[in-house]
Amino acid sequence: MGSITRTFANNITTSGKFDATDLTGTLPASNIADASCTNITAVPALTAVTTESSDPPSPDAGQLWYNSTDKQLKSYVLGAGTWASGGNLNTARSVAGGFGTQTASLATGGYISSNTDIVEQYNGSAWTEIADLNSATRGQGGSGTTSAGISFFGDNTPSGPNVSAKNELWNGSSWTETTDGNQGRRYFGFAGTSSTAALAYAGESPTPAEIALTESWNGSSWTEVGDLNTARGRLGSGGVETSALAFGGDTPGSPGGVTNTESWNNSSWTEVADLNTARDNIAGSIGASNTSSLCVGGNQSPTPTLTTKTEQWNGTSWTEVNDIGTGTQFYSTGGSGTQTAGLIFGGEDGSNTAVTQEFTRSNAALVLATGGQPSAY
């Protein structure tokens, strides 16, 4: 452990006399009696506690502060979140793609009685039909905003089943075909929030063969990157191209849904904690990164039945939160929004549906000094 620097106050004996035996200012390691000191290699940084006159408007999870007005020590915690009805789609459909936020999103294509090219835009309360895709497509992915996005892969035959590697770029007013991907697929996982950076992984290709292949989009071309550990299709997904999550779905030889979850760190996939409920045809895949996602609805295993269950991922484990109002399946969302403000739309609950549901979680402050309950602000 080496010697430890000390002050001369250490030379004061218990009787109050000064011990002048060693005036070097160092203390030999052999004099340290506490065995807990032996293996210390580093001291972790302390969590900063700031002093605030009022609760911060947008704290980070785990943030601590002292409210000098309330005379209370507080920490930020996530609320359970609630579901509320939004405006219905103009055209009921299942297996649609899409992208955007809770208040500004696109629903692209999908399946009615055959594949459709219809695109609708959501403004937070109502959907409006806008320019159609060039190819009627279902089971595709998406990334971007209402002013610049990309719709990629999927099944673009009139009635299927088939797979495509085609991509279309959205410029806010029209769609333009761009560079194809390397591997056609449908019902796959995808992540991204821009038209120039996205991730496509797993899926069915051609069908119903599940794959593990991952491809990354850089704005001009697709590049194969690290495969998932478990091939799967009809899975849930969320995040961005550098930080994504894959969960549930069908695996080869295991139709009906699994609980497997994998995390992407921009170079490889790692198996992490499983979902609480095995499911496939997941209805809602919402998330901003591999530490923040929602798994919504789907077809529950082992007895195939639509589920209303919602689970949230915190980077370590899944926790069940408030259920959606109606059980639904078949990719009714394109990953629109985040874990605190998400959106699902359409899907199938016995027939195609136009229902839109919004998930909102409010900030909450937990008073640590008195052990109080969270209070939303």
* Reported confidence tier of residue 248, pLDDT bands at 50, 70, 90: very high
The domain spans of the chain are: 4-37, 50-78+363-376, 85-360
Q: Tell me the C-alpha distance between 257 and 301, whole Å.
A: 5
Q: Tell me the C-alpha distance between 18 and 260, whole Å.
A: 67
Buried b (16+ CB within 10 A) or exposed e, 97-127: bbbbbbbbbbbbbbbeeebbbbbbbbeeeeb
Higher pLDDT, residue 152 or 65: 152
pLDDT at 28 over 70: no
pLDDT tens-digit readout, 202-224: 999 976 789 999 999 999 999 99
pLDDT tens-digit readout, 132-169: 999 999 999 999 999 999 999 999 886 556 899 999 99
Mean pLDDT of 182-191: 94
The tokens for 75 are 């920490």
pLDDT at 80 over 80: no
The percent of residues in the chain predicted with pLDDT above 70, rounded, is 80
* Beta-ladder partners of 12: 18
pTM of the model: 0.79
Q: Which residues contact 97 (CB under 8 A, 6 or more apart)?
A: 107, 108, 109, 110, 137, 139, 140, 141, 142, 151, 154, 331, 334
- Give the per-residue pLDDT at 333: 59
* Reported confidence tier of residue 15, pLDDT bands at 50, 70, 90: low
The tokens for 109 are 């294509």
* Reported confidence tier of residue 301, pLDDT bands at 50, 70, 90: confident
Question: E strands along 226-309, which residues?
Answer: 236-240, 243-247, 261-264, 269-272, 279-280, 284-289, 292-296, 299-300, 305-306
pLDDT tens-digit readout, 39-62: 555 555 556 788 988 888 767 667
* Reported confidence tier of residue 320, pLDDT bands at 50, 70, 90: very high
Buried b (16+ CB within 10 A) or exposed e, 305-326: ebbbbbbbbeeeebeebbebeb
- Give the per-residue pLDDT at 361: 83
Nearest alpha carbon to residue 246 among 195, 299, 297, 191: 191
Which range has highest mean pLDDT (27-36, 44-53, 323-332)? 323-332
Q: In the chain, how long is the greatest CA-to-CA distance?
A: 96
CATH number of this structure's domain 85-360: 2.120.10.80
Higher pLDDT, residue 146 or 19: 146
- Give the per-residue pLDDT at 101: 93
Nearest alpha carbon to residue 70 among 370, 321, 340: 370
* Reported confidence tier of residue 252, pLDDT bands at 50, 70, 90: confident
Nearest alpha carbon to residue 338 among 81, 17, 92, 31: 81
279 in Cβ contact with 232 (< 8 Å): no
* Plot region of 86 (φ>0 → left; ψ -120 to 50 → alpha; else → beta): beta
Which range has highest mean pLDDT (5-9, 36-40, 60-64, 310-314)? 310-314
Cα–Cα distances (Å) from 202 to 69, 199, 243, 266, in that order, read 52, 10, 16, 16
357 backbone dihedrals φ, ψ, rounded to 5°: -130, 135
pLDDT at 356 over 60: yes
26 backbone dihedrals φ, ψ, rounded to 5°: -120, 155
